[in-house]
Chain A
Amino acid sequence: MVFQDENTLYALPETLLPTAGTSLLGADFGSVHTRAVFIDQVDGQYRLVSRAQALTTADAPYGDVTVGLGRALDQMTALIGRGFLAGDRIAIGPGFGAVGAEQFVATASGGRPMRAVLVGLMADVSLASGKHALGSVYTDLADVISIGDLRSEEAKVNAILGKRPDLIFIVGGTDFGAQSTLLALVKTVRLALSLLPAENRPIIVYAGNEAMRETVTILLTDLAEVFPAANVRPALNREYLAGAELELAVAYGRYKAMTGGYRDMPALTRLGVLPTASSYSTIIRYLGGVTSGGVLALDIGSSTVTIAASLAKRGYLNIRPDLGVGHSAVSAVEQIGAERVLRWLTYKSSVSDVLDYVYNKTLKPATIPGTPEELEMEFALAREIAREALESARRGWPRRARIAPFATLIGAGAVLTQALDPGLSAMLLLDAVQPAGIVRLQSDPYAVIPALGAAAYMTPLVAVQVLESGGLLDLGTALCTEGVTRAADAMQIDVKYSDGRTASRIVPNNAFRLIDLPGGQRARITVRLARGLTISGKSRLTLDVDGGAAGIICDTRGRPLRPPADLGKRRDLLVRWFIGARAAVTQAPRAETSGPAPTDEENP
């Protein structure tokens, strides 16, 4: 497994590397749920054996994540019969026999993000790179101090003290360039640190001029813990983020260990608590390296949306801690506007209704929709949140890559993965990303990516083998048309199954349809499109496609998706899409190939 590309090279210090073992327990602490996965060797291959979840117990009245983790492990024990506790402690390490696991990894996306102050020189040089690096961990950027900052030293000190940061991230200067300006800023940081009570002092990550690394460390180390990293901007025209991202991840783990609920974690894992988003980044970079075409993972959580992309073999990570369908639902609607949510509803609703919904969701983020109307609202919110997150992520991608089609889309988070059925998961993912062309759709209903990304630091084979053995759920292959047609029927598709059977289907224009092709199977399809429509620039194509839980997904709705403003028309259309996403067309009998292809109306 290659966890490196031109921009990234992971190298954890030897002291942090745990001993490799054959079984692995992973825990991902989200804002709402703690998800545990157990991976073990089966016939010499690492396999996902079991998973479970319980409510996260990081905050009062528990203030201890191991309570929720223990409950999830109890569930796992009930499911597979394997115990994970030795007394009242989680059994990690060799010597427990058939109890527990040999390795443990922990990731977290829940809880308060690190409040960060970024210190650097130029806004569009080092500070820009600093912001990119900060985007790899859960941070709330509270202030930026730079040479362009016209505040007095006194005001800067008060700003740092007033913001009470958990992290001060210092960047600036090209390697072995001028030092005096950055040094003055570091002295301001030192003054602010000296005025803070020792227990309130932030962690310092320094990723500036390499030549100043020692000076900065000496200057600050008696006041705070300093994590030196490689310069994020070693040269004016070169950005290097991997070193800083790694140190920020370690700093995040340290921050988590200092916040009450995670205090037992260091005893269980020497890696510390890693940011969940880093795992997505690692796994997507790997998948991008071994598949052709771009790969994108979209994780819609309660408090955060994470987008990890691999474009032209290069990884991009974007975290939006202000977007989510639970804790962040209110701030999400403040960003996207309630009107954008309303355009996905089939019933009469108002801005006021959307606000009531999201405020209630923020108050009770663990609850799930109890009525069809609430479910529609939840899905509408998820679609628009994903659109918003993608728009901001795209701004950080290279210009050419912004329009490049993704070959693989992976959905994560309960709203995308625990929808009614796989067809609906597929539709929500397509609605959110709105890709064109041929796209393989997968989801992570077992929340295995966080554990695999963390495990990759010590046993990369775990990630490789679990991904290859169905760790992710294949939803199927989506065929998404581009262009406009006036024809009533948009697509004719002939399917030749691997057992020799064939089927032929006609998909109407502006429709969403599923054709049965189970996971693990391949089929050869021939697609003919109506005038004006293309897929990957072609109006007729033959290709082999992989199946999945939803099968072959035919999406002739065009791009961008625009549900009608008129409520009646919108209801008719969205209901048709919804029905299409829920009813897989079963494999056609062999005889069907001799007759005319059935139209959509004949489909169940």
Chain B
Amino acid sequence: MALTFYPETHYILAMTTVRRDRKLPDDAAAGEVLVTERQRVEPSTTLLRGTRAGHFRVVPIKTAALGVRRLSDIKPEWIIVQEGTLVRAGEPLIQRGQGRGARKFSVPFSSVVARIEADRFILQETPETVEVRALYTGIVSALRSRREVQIEAVGALVQGVWGNGRDTFGTVAEAPEAGLQSLASEEILTTYRGQILLTRLPLTAQTLAVVERQQVAGVIAPAMPAELIPQVLAMNAPVLLTEGFGEHKMSDIVYNLLRDNDGRQVALDAVEPKRFSAQRPELFIPLPGGVSLPPLPERGQGLFPGVQVRIARAPNAGQAGRVVRVFETPQVLETGLRVSGAEIQLGSGKLVFVPIDNLESLGRALDRRR
């Protein structure tokens, strides 16, 4: 039995079927599903509506308002709400008698009755409404629950490495070769406004200032200094990095795929990677499918000759290639580390040895794509 290694996966696929779960935020209560199964949806279609829970308030019962001295004097039938009842500010929770002479203990703010206890009410302040849009052009493939809907879409998929937590949908426009700085002049301003800017060069403080002035809908860039993170997180427009932090240029495989789809609409989901969340930023370009759906991205692909991979770290970071040979015994790197690895043929034809840990499969074997 031969050793099989399983590298990380980083999806870069020219044509695939994706299934994306669109769900209410964790802190939102389940609400209503606004679509039906197999329904076609557009990026702006609202799929789900829920509520973000308000604070709980402890409201002691005031006996004086009811004209009684002791809590024990309150009769159960006077309580006119139940747990779960939605009440508006000023509406009574307890009412003694009828008509104009009725004595009432009213709720001071709009809320939901969460708990009724002998001496107090626990009320939840009226929750805030939260909506979830489709973001992808596709069909509703599954209604998972009142808080989660699955969308199926066909197109090109490029996984990023970092995002600023925003999303959008729009047309990609490539920044000038001279760099984003050259966009400062007013006459170009209207050209890029409302579009998703694609740049091959790393973002800098200077170029970010230009981006903000241009009021672009989003930015796809290879990298930026980590020091700019606070500034980018504060931006309204989504920013997605394809390579990482520092001085990296956009890798050819990503750039070529985006350039091939120049002028198409793109769903840009610039999720900010969180330590304990598996969600990753990505951009998706919806494309017309054929008679049958293209295959889903492959996960957990073993490392075999022919598999297409990307190199995750220097040297050769970002470069894609094909596995030529997998070494079962550790080899010595330039650093002196002895590690398991594979021989990779880069696009230029050059052969390089790369540790398994620094390889990412792209989601499909090259041979199977052909």
Minimum CB–CB distance from B354 to chain A (whole Å) comes to: 8
Within 8 A of A (CB), among B301-331: 312-315, 317
Contacts of A81 in B (CB 8 A): 1
**A58-66, A245-253, A269-277, A398-406: which one contacts chain B?**
A58-66
For A32-69 the 0/1 string (1 means CB < 8 A from B) is 00000000000000000000001101011110000100
Minimum CB–CB distance from B156 to chain A (whole Å) comes to: 19
Judge whether B244 and A370 touch: CB under 8 Å.
no
Judge whether A359 and B357 touch: CB under 8 Å.
no
Judge whether B313 and A154 touch: CB under 8 Å.
no
Judge whether B56 and A158 touch: CB under 8 Å.
yes
Judge whether A369 and B335 touch: CB under 8 Å.
yes
Judge whether A355 and B6 touch: CB under 8 Å.
no
Q: Does B89 contact A (CB under 8 A)?
A: no
Known A-B contacts A61-B278, A195-B56; A367 and B245 likewise in contact (beta carbons under 8 Å): no
Extra contacts, 5 of them, besides A161-B53, A360-B246, A363-B161 (Cβ < 8 A), are A54-B6, A363-B245, A367-B312, A367-B358, A369-B337
For A346-388 the 0/1 string (1 means CB < 8 A from B) is 0000001101111110111011111110110000000000000
Which positions in B face A, CB cutoff 8 Å?
A: 1-4, 6-9, 27, 53, 55-58, 114-115, 122, 124, 161-162, 225-227, 229, 244-246, 273, 275-276, 278-279, 299-300, 312-315, 317, 333-339, 354-355, 357-358
Judge whether B315 and A371 touch: CB under 8 Å.
yes
List 9 A-B pairs, minimum CB-CB distance, nearest first: A60-B278, A112-B276, A356-B246, A355-B226, A154-B58, A420-B336, A359-B226, A356-B245, A59-B278
Taken together as a complex, chains A and B put the C-alpha atoms of A203 and B58 apart, in Å, by 24
Contacts of B124 in A (CB 8 A): 195
Q: Does A75 contact B (CB under 8 A)?
A: yes
Residue of B nearest to A61 (CB): B299
Judge whether B1 and A364 touch: CB under 8 Å.
no
Q: Chain A interface: which size bin? A: 35 or more
Taken together as a complex, chains A and B put the C-alpha atoms of A327 and B274 apart, in Å, by 10
Q: Does A325 contact B (CB under 8 A)?
A: no
Contacts of B299 in A (CB 8 A): 61-62
Minimum CB–CB distance from A165 to chain B (whole Å) comes to: 14
Judge whether B337 and A368 touch: CB under 8 Å.
yes
Judge whether B335 and A161 touch: CB under 8 Å.
no
Minimum CB–CB distance from B246 to chain A (whole Å) comes to: 4
Option from B55, B275, B339 in Cβ contact (under 8 Å) with A158: B55
Known A-B contacts A67-B300, A367-B358; A157 and B4 likewise in contact (beta carbons under 8 Å): no
Taken together as a complex, chains A and B put the C-alpha atoms of A194 and B279 apart, in Å, by 31
Contacts of B57 in A (CB 8 A): 154
Taken together as a complex, chains A and B put the C-alpha atoms of A151 and B201 apart, in Å, by 51
Sample 10 A-B pairs with CB under 8 A, ordered by A number.
A61-B9, A158-B55, A158-B56, A195-B56, A355-B226, A360-B245, A364-B8, A368-B357, A420-B337, A420-B338
Q: Does A175 contact B (CB under 8 A)?
A: no
Contacts of B226 in A (CB 8 A): 352, 355-356, 358-359
Within 8 A of B (CB), among A130-179: 152-154, 157-158, 161, 164
Judge whether B8 and A366 touch: CB under 8 Å.
yes
Residue of A nearest to B26 (CB): A164
Q: Does A74 contact B (CB under 8 A)?
A: yes
Within 8 A of B (CB), among A304-330: 327-328
